[in-house]
Amino acid sequence: MLPLAKFFLLFLLGVVVAGEYPKHVKETLRKVAEGVYGVFGVYEQVSYENRGFISNAYFVMTDDGVLVVDALTTYKLGRELVEAVRSLTDKPIRFTVITHYHTDHFYGVGALKEAGSVIIAHEWAFDYVSQPSSWNFYEARKKILKEHMDGTDMVPPDITLTKDLDIHLGKHRFEVRHFCKAHTPGDIVVWIPDKKVLFSGDIVFDGRLPFLGSGNSRGWLKCLDKIMELDPNILLPGHGNPMLTKDKIRDRVLWTRKYIADLRNTIRKMIEEGQDIDYVREHINEAMLEIDPSYAQVPVFFDVNPVNAYYVYFEIENEMLEEEE
Ligand SMILES: [Zn+2]
C-alpha cells in the first residue's frame, strides 16, 4: 500500500474508533462555567469497549487549589481525570467529593488520593464498602472490565458527613449537602452559591428514567423540591449532558418529579384496590401510559418501569402500614 493511502486508512480507523469511545478521559474535557470543567462518559452500561467510562466527573479551579466532584469507574479512569486536571492547572487537588458510593462514581477514588486529595462522602459509604454484596459487584465489574480494572480498589472516604458540610477554598464556599435519601441512602450534592452551580449526582438525569431500586422514592421527591428551591443556573449531573439553562433544569427536574409521583400514585391506587406485587408489575406500564402516553417515548421505559414498580410497591406498602399505626 502507498504510504499516503496507508496513512489515510489509519486516519479513518482512528476517527471511527475515537468517535465511538474516547481513548482518554481528557478527550471529553469541557468548560461548563467560569473555572468549572467536566469530563463526560458515554450514556450506556459498563462494557469492556467503553472501559467503564459511563459517568461524568467535574472539577473547580480556585486560587488555592482544585475541588473534584466524583472519581469515575476505575483507578485508571481516575488517573486520567487527574491528568485532565493537570492539563489545566498545577494547583493541588485539595478535595474530592463523591456524590454517592456507587461503582461508577467512586472506584477511581484511589487515584485522587494518590494525587494528594482528601476524599469526602456521606457516612453511608462505609456501609457500602463493608457489604459483601458490594464485593460481589466488584468481582462482576472485574469480569467485564478485565485489565481496565487494574489498580482499582474500594477506597473509603477520609471525611464523612450525614447532613451539612461547608468547604472554603479560594474565594468560594462549597456547600456539601445530604438533602434526603433518593438514588441511594447516601446521596449528596455540591452547591456553589456564588456561581449558582449544582452538582447533582444521580438525582436528576436528562431524558432517562431514574432508577428507584436502591434509594427511596418519597425522599427523592423531597430532594427534587430542594433543588427547585436552590434554583440553579447550571446543573451538572452524574450522567449525560450538563444542563446549562434554567429552563432546561426546571423542565428536567419537574419531569423526573412527575414520573416518580405518577408511579407512586398509580401503585398506591393499585394496592388500595387489593392488587398484589405480580399484578402491579404486569400492569404498571399500561396504567402509567393511560396517565401520560408520552412515557412510551422515554428510553428503557418498558424495561425499567416495572423494576422501579417492584421496589416502590414495598416502599408504599410500608408507608401505608406506618400510617395505620
Ligand atoms: Zn451513576
Tell me, what CATH number does 131's domain have? 3.60.15.10
CA of 238 to the centre of ligand 1 (A): 6
| Ligand 1 mean position, distance from CA 285 (Å) | 24
Looking at the fold, whether 186 and 284 belong to one and the same domain comes out as: no
39 has which bridge partners?
A: 57
Between the CA of 44 and the centroid of ligand 1 the distance, in Å, is 10
Q: How confident is the model at residue 13 (pLDDT cuts 50, 70, 90)?
A: very low
**3 has pLDDT over 60:** no
**In contact, 314 and 308? CB cutoff 8 Å:** no
pLDDT value of residue 158: 98
> What is the extent of the structural domain holding 287?
247-325
Are 165 and 267 members of one domain? no
| Higher-pLDDT residue of 215, 259 | 259
Secondary structure (H, E, C), 188-235? CEEEECCCCEEEEECCCCCCCCCCCCCCCHHHHHHHHHHHHHHCCCEE
| Claim to verify: residue 186 and residue 53 sit in the same structural domain | yes
Residue 170 Cα to ligand 1 midpoint, Å, equals 29
The pTM for the full model equals 0.89
Q: Ligand 1 centroid vs 202 CA: distance in angstroms?
A: 6
Q: Which residues lie across from 177 on neighbouring strands?
A: 164, 189
5 C-alpha to ligand 1 centroid (Å): 43
How does pLDDT run across 275-312, given as a tens digit for each residue?
999 999 999 999 999 999 999 999 889 999 999 999 99
Is residue 95 domain-shared with residue 190, that is, in the same domain?
A: yes
For the cut 50, the answer to whether the pLDDT of residue 33 exceeds it is yes
Q: What is the pLDDT at residue 209? A: 87
Tell whether 165 and 234 lie within a shared domain: yes
Q: Are residues 97 and 193 in the same domain?
A: yes
State residue 50's pLDDT score. Answer: 96
Residue 155 Cα to ligand 1 middle (Å): 17
Q: Is residue 3 part of a domain?
A: no
The reported pLDDT for the residue numbered 19 is 53
Q: At which of 244, 275, 297 does a domain end?
A: 244
If asked whether residues 263 and 196 sit together in one domain, one would say no
Select from 244, 276, 295 the last residue of a domain.
244
User: Is 18 a domain residue?
Assistant: no
Instruction: Give rounded-to-5 percent helix, strand, coil for the chain.
Output: 45, 20, 35
* Whole-number Å distance between alpha carbons of 28 and 44: 16
pLDDT digits (tens, 9 = 90+) for 37-49: 999 999 888 999 9
Domain assignment present for 89: yes
Beta-carbon neighbours within 5 Å of ion ligand 1:
104, 202, 238
The rounded Å distance from CA 102 to ligand 1 centre is 6
pLDDT at residue 17 greater than cutoff 50: no
pLDDT of residue 63 exceeding 60: yes
Please tell me the distance between residue 54's alpha carbon and the centre of ligand 1 in angstroms: 8
Residue 9 inside a domain? The answer is no
pLDDT over 90 (residue 10): no
CA of 106 to the centre of ligand 1 (A): 10
52 and 192 inside one domain: yes
> 178 C-alpha vs ligand 1 centroid, how far in Å?
17
Distance CA 190, CA 204 (A): 13
In this structure, the answer to whether residues 85 and 132 fall within a common structural domain is: yes
Comparing 75-89, 120-134, 153-167, 203-217, the range with the smallest average pLDDT is 203-217
Domain identity same for 279 and 149: no
- Our count of domains for the chain comes to 2
Q: Tell me phi and psi for residue 269, to 5 degrees.
A: -60, -45
Ligand 1: centre distance to CA 9 (Å): 37
What sign for the dihedral angle of Cα 98, 104, 109, 111?
A: negative
Whether 13 is in a domain gets the answer: no
pLDDT band at 207 (very low <50, low <70, confident <90, very high): confident
Inform me whether the pLDDT recorded for 107 exceeds 50: yes
Within-domain flag for 1: no
Q: How far does the centroid of ligand 1 lie from the alpha carbon of residue 144, in Å? A: 17
Tell how far the Cα of 251 is from the centroid of ligand 1, in angstroms: 21
Greater pLDDT, 187 or 2: 187
Give distance in angstroms: CA of 34 to centre of ligand 1. 25
Q: Is the pLDDT of residue 257 over 80?
A: yes
| Residue 7 maps to a domain | no
Q: How far is the CA of 183 from the centre of ligand 1 (A)?
A: 9
Could you tell me the distance, in angstroms and rounded to a whole number, from the CA of residue 306 to the centre of ligand 1?
A: 20
Residues 252 and 292 in one domain: yes
CA 119 to centroid of ligand 1, rounded, Å = 18
* Distance in Å, CA 45 to ligand 1 centroid: 10
**Are residues 150 and 230 both part of a single domain?**
yes
Cell numbers of 77, please? 479512569
